[in-house]
Amino acid sequence: MARVIGTIPSDRSENEVLKELKNQCPKDWTIISNICWSVKDKKGYVRDGEADFAVLIPESGLVVIEVKGSRRFKVKENGIWARFERGKWIDINKKSPPEQATKNMHELVGLINEKNNWTTFKGRYSYVVVYPQGEISDYPQMFDKSTVVTKKNMGHLPSVLKVSLEERDHGNKGKGFSPLVIETIIDLLKDRKFYVASADTNIEVEDDLSKIEMLTRQQHASLRGLFQLPSVAVLGPAGSGKTLMAMWRMMSLVEHGSEAIYVCYNKNLANALQLKYPDYREYIWSVDKLFTSFLEQPINQYKDVEFYRESLPLLVMDQADSIRKYDAIIVDEGQDFSENQIIGLLELLAEDNTWAFFADWNQDLYNVSSGAPIGAEVIFHLYHNCRNTVLINDASNKVLNSNVESMPGMPEGVSPEICYAKVQSKLVWELAKDWKGKGSVAILSPFKLENSSLSKQKSGHGLVLSEDIADLNADKAIYFSTIKSFKGIEASSVIVIDTKIPNEHKAFSQENLYVACTRATARLALISSEREVVTYLSKVLKS
């Protein structure tokens, strides 16, 4: 596995290429991601440059990689590049991908030579344009296909890169590209003048909840049990993959013809999963919405929480004999359900069919559950956190004085930021702007928006606040939520505002802080306008 240096790309195609490079290339190769520089041209004007990746290959040279996301492209006889989009071919009138890559290659090599006072580059250099999801439809005879990688040869990246260098120089020039030369180049590109920052996460963190390879042995065992046993409970800490497993189980049952549903307490979690899995939208429910769907008469929208937790399940149980039964019910965030809600769901289950219950008692924010996995005959336990970086997981452990281990291989990441701000909104928007280009950002508060420190400043730095979960990944919006309503959901970066000393305010318990911390996969900031809170959190989380 190759060494990776640099920031993690926010672009999906670049992420895919980085993953393949990291996994395919030998361990003595170095991949530098997202290289940016600024230079003055002959007229004295400053020009910015950027390369998606540079790969440094010992005893060979440097390859600059330009990544493109098009699925179909072609090169016309006149040399014009075109991409297929919305049913028609569109010419690329600006610089073609090879022209962009060539320019970046020569400029980057020139800067390296200049900064090191080299008269010539200490190795070979070349470029490659990569279309990880693309295929080439047509090209002229004069076109050199060795400069382009398409979907069909994504599995052979090391050989493609080596050939690209060999095609540039068949001599021994590559022998001069020694480990010392490589480290010299790395040190230069890590310099602030170039601005290549050390990565605070890795590509697996961005989609660790979408690949089974990221699960630990305990998670694998639980998954196998779910597929073999009719009535199970899976208990595990935040970030251990419970929601992922619950969704997998439901989807597998549906694909095999079962009448199955996934049910959670948090309606925002249900909405987020419906957006993420649109093909299974009709099988994903919040418990209140599911139970309400069985009532013949619409209920008063102003009914209190007690009605939904206690009375509504009883109404459903009264009608259970006349309601269609499900072959399988998958319950997620089970610690949030009242006993009546769980029993009501069991009444909707056909006899001798599938029941799966997922829970984490450390996330019991409502204090209504029975504390036991009702309906389960077999209980599985998860032990590893595979969502958060090591440093965020360590901080989360200190909140509850627990000892949840990070999954082996998880990146260390960066420490949570604990910040004092007399006016929180200014700092919040600065962080949101800085982190927005590096993945999804969520702002969490123990209070509703109108009672939070952002109530009077709902925009900043070209970004606007949104309470629609669909905007979690929107370009110009930052999602706001209460901590409770974000339970079960995650974001690359989480900014917690209105932070208090746990248990000194009824809206901010230890469990609230734990849930808030464990929502962040890579970056976490805790902000308060009270110095004593900052002092307390700094002592607890950084001890």
pLDDT at 222: 59
pLDDT at 330: 96
| Residue-averaged pLDDT of the chain | 84
Three-state secondary structure readout of 164-194: HHHHHCCCCHHHHCCHHHHHHHHHHHCCCCC
Give the containing element (helix H, strand E) for 482: strand 477-482
d(CA 265, CA 259): 20
pLDDT tens readout for residues 434-477: 898 778 999 999 999 999 999 999 999 999 999 999 999 888 99
Give how far the C-alpha of residue 54 lies from the chain's centroid of Cα atoms, to the nearest Å: 24
Angle at 85 between CA 79 and CA 90, to 5 degrees: 35
Q: What percent of the chain has pLDDT over 70?
A: 87
Domain boundaries defined on the chain: 3-190, 230-376, 391-542
380 and 222 Cβ atoms separated by less than 8 Å: yes
522 and 493 Cβ atoms separated by less than 8 Å: yes
Instruction: Report whether pLDDT(26) > 90.
Output: yes
* Neighbour-count burial for 99-125, b at 16+ CB within 10 Å, e otherwise: ebbbbbbebbbebbeeeeeeeebbbbb
* pLDDT-based confidence at residue 193 (cuts at 50, 70, 90): very low
d(CA 116, CA 180): 13
Instruction: Report whether pLDDT(269) > 50.
Output: yes
Q: 127 versus 228: which is more confidently predicted? A: 127
pLDDT at 140: 63
C-alpha distances in Å from residue 256, one per residue of 231, 243, 277, 519: 18, 20, 17, 32
Lowest mean pLDDT, pick from 40-49, 198-207, 323-332, 515-524 = 198-207
Instruction: Report whether pLDDT(151) > 50.
Output: yes
241 and 209 Cβ atoms separated by less than 8 Å: yes
Give the containing element (helix H, strand E) for 218: helix 217-228
* pLDDT-based confidence at residue 204 (cuts at 50, 70, 90): very low
Topology given in CATH for the domain delimited by 230-376: Rossmann fold (3.40.50)
pLDDT at 46: 55
pLDDT tens readout for residues 365-403: 777 766 788 888 888 888 888 888 889 999 999 988 888
Strands 260-264 and 284-286: parallel
Topology given in CATH for the domain delimited by 3-190: Trna Endonuclease; Chain: A, domain 1 (3.40.1350)
Top mean-pLDDT range of 165-174, 200-209, 500-509, 530-539: 530-539
Instruction: Report whether pLDDT(216) > 80.
Output: no
Lowest mean pLDDT, pick from 4-13, 100-109, 186-195, 211-220 = 211-220
Tell me, yes or no, if the two domains 230-376 and 391-542 fold the same way.
yes
CATH code for the part of the protein at 391-542 = 3.40.50.300
pLDDT at 209: 33
Mean pLDDT of 309-338: 92
Tally Cβ neighbours within 10 Å of residue 60. Answer: 23
- Copy the structure tokens of residue 15: 């992420």
* pLDDT-based confidence at residue 322 (cuts at 50, 70, 90): confident
Instruction: Report whether pLDDT(515) > 90.
Output: yes
d(CA 310, CA 368): 10
Q: 187 versus 62: which is more confidently predicted? A: 62
Residue with tokens 């962009």: 100
C-alpha distances in Å from residue 386, one per residue of 217, 241, 403, 428: 12, 7, 14, 27
Mean pLDDT of 176-192: 83
* pLDDT-based confidence at residue 8 (cuts at 50, 70, 90): low
Give the containing element (helix H, strand E) for 5: strand 3-6
Give this prediction's pTM.
0.60
pLDDT at 282: 95
d(CA 11, CA 68): 10
Q: 42 versus 349: which is more confidently predicted? A: 349
Tally Cβ neighbours within 10 Å of residue 232. Answer: 23
518 and 365 Cβ atoms separated by less than 8 Å: no
pLDDT at 210: 37
